[in-house]
């Protein structure tokens, strides 16, 4: 049995990522990816049931840029 609904995997694949967590609100699906990105996919028709949704039922995602693993120190801080 799959841990996530199929639409979550489809949206994650669209954003070239692997989902580790997700949450649904009335207006959007929020997916947290394995690489640390948190993406919000806004629903076009919020009244449509999740089981009948496809990728076409969502707008382009809004997301966060993955933070750099390298810390900026005073010695290598850009001018």
Domain ranges of the chain: 6-63
List the pLDDT tens digit at each of the 79 positions of the chain: 357 888 999 999 988 899 999 999 989 899 999 988 899 999 998 888 888 888 888 887 776 655 555 566 666 666 6
pLDDT of amino acid 9: 92
Quote the CA–CA distance of 55 and 77 in Å, as a whole number.
42
pLDDT of amino acid 1: 39
Angle (nearest 5°) at CA 20 between 14 and 25:
75
């Amino acid at each position: 049995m799959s841990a996530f609904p199929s639409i979550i995997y489809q949206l994650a694949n669209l954003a070239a990522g692997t989902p580790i967590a997700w949450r649904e609100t009335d207006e959007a699906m929020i997916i947290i990816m394995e690489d640390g990105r948190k993406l919000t996919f806004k629903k076009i028709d919020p009244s449509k049931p999740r089981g009948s949704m496809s990728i076409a039922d969502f707008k382009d995602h809004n997301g966060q840029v993955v933070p750099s693993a390298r810390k900026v120190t005073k010695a290598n801080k850009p001018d």
